[in-house]
Amino acid sequence: MRQDRTDGASLKKGNVTRIYKLIYRQGTLSKPEIAYQLGISLPTVMQNVKILQENGLIEENGVLDSTGGRKAVALSCVKNARTALGMDITQNHVSLVLVNLYGEILFRTREKIEFEDTVDYAKKLGAALTRFVTELKAEPKTILGLGVSVPGILSNDRQILVDSHILQIKNIRCANLVKFCSYPSLFCNDANAAGTAELWNREALGSCVYLSLSDSVGGAIILENKLFQGENQRGGEFGHITIERGGRRCYCGKKGCLDAYCSASVLSGLTNGNLADFFRLLRQGDPKITAAWDDYLDYLATAVNNLRMSFDCSVILGGYVGAQMEDYIADLRARAAGLNPFEDDGNYIKVCGYRTEAAAVGAALMHVSPFIDQIC
C-alpha cells in the first residue's frame, strides 16, 4: 500500500513538472493541447494545472483559436514568478543582473570594483549586491540564488578557482568571494556561463560552440543542451588553440595561440585600448585599421572553420568583438566557407544575442535550470 502511494505521489509530481516544462517551451498552450501532447487525460491536466496556478507559476493568458467548438483558454508561465541573481567578476568591474525564469534581464548594473584577493574585496562585492537588491526592490522570497562567473578555470567541484591569468591568482576558495553575499551561490567559468546564456533561448540548436572574443579568447562547448567541460574543466579553452606554429607570443607563454590573433585587445591595441574607436575608424575606411581587420577576420575564419570541422554544429560569436560582428558576418561567413570542403556557405556562424552581460545571465541561469527541472 505504502509503495503504491509513493508511486502515485511521484507520478503526480512528474506530471506537474512535465506540464510546466511543456508550457515553458511552447509559450502558450490550452489544457486539451497539453493532454494531447503528453498523452495524459484532461482531468489529470486540469488537476495539475490547478496546482501550478495555486503556486503562481502559470496563468491564464487570453484564448487560443480552435478549429471548432469553444475557444480554449491559453495558459502560459508566469515569467517573473522566480528570479535569479548573476554576478560577473572581471579584473576591474563587477556586473550584476537579475533575470527571470526565461533568462530575460530585469535589472542590471555594473560597478567599478578592482579585483584583489582580500577580505575587503569580498566586502565590496557583498555591499554592491545588497545595494543592487535593495534598489530594485526585488521580493527576496522569489530569488532562487546567486550565480557567479569568474574569468578562470575552476576545480571539478567548482569550489576552487584553480587558475585565473586575468585576476593573477591561483587556488582560491570561491566561497571566500561571496562571504558577504547572503544567497546560495554557485560558480562557473565566464565563457561557459556566456555560452549557456546564448543557447538558453535557442533550444532548437541543441548543440553549439560559443567563441568569446573579449580581451582574452575563451569559449564553451554545449552538446545536446549540456555543457561539456572535459576532464579538467578546460573544455572550450579555444584561446590556446595553436593557430600559427611558432607565431605570436600568447599571454600564456606559448607561441601561436588564437588569443594572440583574435582577442579584442589585438584590435583595441591599435586605438589606445578603445574598441569602439577601432570600429569607428574601420567604418571610415582607415587603411591601417582595415588591413588589421582583414588579418583578424582571416584568423577568425580559420578558427571558426576548425571548430565547425571538430563539432559540426553552430558557432556563436560573443564577447566584445562578437557584439560588433553583425555588420561583418557575411564577410566572415564567406571566408570560413572558403576553407570548408563540405559546405558552400557559413550560415552556421551566428552572432551573440546578448550584447552585454551574457556571463552574468548564464551564471544566474545555473539556479533557474534546476528549478524548472524540479518544479514542485
Burial of residue 327 (CB within 10 Å: 0-12, 13-18, 19+) is exposed
Number of amino acids touching Zn ion (CB under 5 A): 5
Q: Nearest distance from residue 253's CB to Zn ion, in Å?
A: 7
The nearest distance, CB 252 to Zn ion, in angstroms, is 3
> Which residues 104-133 are close enough to bind Zn ion by CB under 5 A?
none
Instruction: Return the residue of 257, 266, 303, 317 that touches Zn ion, per CB under 5 A.
Output: 257
When the beta carbons of 240 and 350 are compared against Zn ion, the nearer one is: 240
User: For residue 119, which of 187, 182, 179, 186 has the smallest C-alpha distance?
Assistant: 179
C-beta of 75 vs 241, nearer to Zn ion? 241
Give whichever of 235 and 353 is closer to Zn ion, judged by the CB atom. 235
Residue type, 267: L
Query: What is the CA angle 288-292-293, rounded to 5?
Result: 115
Region for residue 163 given its phi and psi (left: phi exceeds 0; alpha: psi -120 to 50; beta: otherwise): beta
Find the part of the chain contacting Zn ion (CB under 5 A) among 79-87, 94-102, 106-114, 249-257. Answer: 249-257
Q: Choose the binding region for Zn ion from 236-244, 269-277, 344-352, 361-369 (rule: CB under 5 A).
A: 236-244
Under the criterion CB under 5 A, does residue 250 sit at the interface with Zn ion?
yes
To Zn ion, the closest distance from the beta carbon of 241 in angstroms equals 9
Q: Which of 38, 73, 105, 252 binds Zn ion (CB under 5 A)?
A: 252
Minimum separation from the CB atom of position 311 to Zn ion (A)? 21
CB 243 → Zn ion: shortest distance, Å? 10
CB of 217 to Zn ion, least distance (A): 9
Judged by CB under 5 A, the stretch of 130-138, 195-203, 206-214, 245-253 that binds Zn ion is: 245-253
Q: Does 240 bind Zn ion (CB under 5 A)?
A: yes
Cβ-contact 192, 363 below 8 angstroms:
no
Q: What angle do CA 221, 226, 187 make, to 5 degrees?
A: 85
Least distance (Å) between residue 339 CB and Zn ion: 22
- 3-state SS of 131-177? HHHHHHCCCHHHEEEEEEEECCEECCCCCEEEEECCCCEEEEEHHHH
- 208 lies in the site for Zn ion, by CB under 5 A: no
Q: What angle do CA 231, 236, 242 make, to 5 degrees?
A: 105
Sheet holding 153-154, edge to edge: 153-154, 160-164, 169-173
CB atoms within 10 A of CB 205: 16
In the three-class reduction of DSSP (H, G, I as helix; E, B as strand; rest coil), residue 248 is classed as: coil
Which residues make Cβ contacts (< 8 Å) with residue 16, sequence separation at least 6? Answer: 48, 51, 52, 375, 376
Q: Specify the residue, 212 or 324, whose C-beta has the smaller distance to Zn ion.
A: 212
Task: Answer yes or no whether residue 258 interacts with Zn ion by CB under 5 A.
Answer: no
Amino acid, res. 15: N
Residue 61, exposed/middle/buried by CB under 10 A (0-12, 13-18, 19+)?
A: middle
Taking CB under 5 A as the binding criterion, the range among 61-69, 240-248, 338-346, 356-364 that sits at the site for Zn ion is 240-248
Identity of the residue, 162 or 252, whose beta carbon is nearer to Zn ion in the bound complex: 252
Residue number with CB closer to Zn ion (257 or 336) = 257
Residue 117 beta carbon to Zn ion: minimum distance, rounded to whole angstroms? 23
Q: Which stretch binds Zn ion (CB under 5 A): 19-27, 100-108, 137-145, 238-246?
A: 238-246
Q: Which residues contact 263 (CB under 8 A, 6 or more apart)?
A: 213, 214, 215, 216, 217, 239
Q: Which stretch binds Zn ion (CB under 5 A): 37-45, 105-113, 243-251, 346-354?
A: 243-251
Shortest distance in whole angstroms from residue 250 CB to Zn ion: 3
- Beta carbons of 357 and 149 less than 8 angstroms apart: no
Query: Which chain residues interact with Zn ion by CB under 5 A?
Result: 240, 250, 252, 254, 257
